Homo-oligomer: A and B are copies of this chain.
Amino acid sequence: MPNPTAAMLVIGDEILSGRTRDANMHHLAGRLTEHGIDLKEVRVVADDPRAIQEAVKALAGAYDHLFTSGGIGPTHDDITAENVAAAFGLPIGVRDDARAILEAHYEKQGLEINEARLRMARVPEGATLIDNPVSGAPGFTLENVHVMAGVPKIFEAMVEGLLPTLTGGQPVVSQTLRVERGEGDIAGPLGALAERYDALSFGSYPFIVNGRFGVNVVIRGQDEAEVTRAMQDLEKAFPA
């Protein structure tokens, strides 16, 4: 059976302006691979209602899961929750359970829950909450869309809470061979090998270190024994 598929939507002007380097995509990609969910596409859009709604509709419709990152804080530029709700045509409002979580969190710190913080208790109708052990304010899952925070520590904590609740497939295993030759030198034999093992995927990732070219060849597949056989053939073709 093929693995479940997923997309990710990163929401935030700060990524597109170059101010902030996104870290959540790389983190989620690795954790999904380990869990046996195939990440097929990522989009990054601005803090813009239409852009968010269109991306949510397209990606939630095309894949088994959509994971979002960013835009669920208390400030005026945090507009993810209401636009995910709008993408499904559902109302959103402050919910008692989310409000209770926030009140308990701020009480511990001697802080009051003001109007801005209360924004973070708004949950679309029918959603379930995603736990936030770092800063209280929960994420949520609406249909197949998992809405999480943009701050990496909070995003990562939410992913750890969420993943065990999602059915994974067969994790993809990979093995890598570092070849100290130019990509153009190895392309012919590598292509032939990739054709022979058509259930596996062969990736060729060139690098430059100290002005010298090399390639990391990565073989990926769900059958570990077959990946190992292909790697042995690869090593024979390109001895160190």
Contacts and interface: CB of A to CB of B under 8 A. Distances in A.
A43 B115 CA distance: 35
Interface in A137-173: 151, 153-154, 172
A40 B46 contact: yes
A90 to B, nearest CB: 24
B29 A15 contact: yes
Interface string A201-212: 111111110000
A39 B14 contact: no
A232 interface: no
Interface in A178-220: 182-188, 190-191, 194-195, 201-208, 213, 218, 220
Interface residues of A: mostly helix, strand, loop or mixed? mixed
Given A73-B206, A182-B111, A16 B29 contact: yes
Interface residues of A, number: 72
B42 A218 contact: no
* Residue among A33, A51, A182 having the largest count of chain B Cβ atoms under 10 Å: A182
Contacts of A29: 15-18
B218 A14 contact: yes
A32 B29 CA distance: 26
Given A41-B51, A187-B76, A187-B116, A151 B19 contact: no
Given A15-B29, A18-B26, A18-B29, 11 more contacts: A16-B41, A18-B30, A18-B33, A20-B205, A43-B44, A75-B186, A75-B190, A76-B187, A116-B184, A120-B184, A154-B208
Interface of A: 13-22, 25-33, 39-47, 51, 73-78, 106, 111, 114-117, 119-120, 134-135, 151, 153-154, 172, 174, 182-188, 190-191, 194-195, 201-208, 213, 218, 220
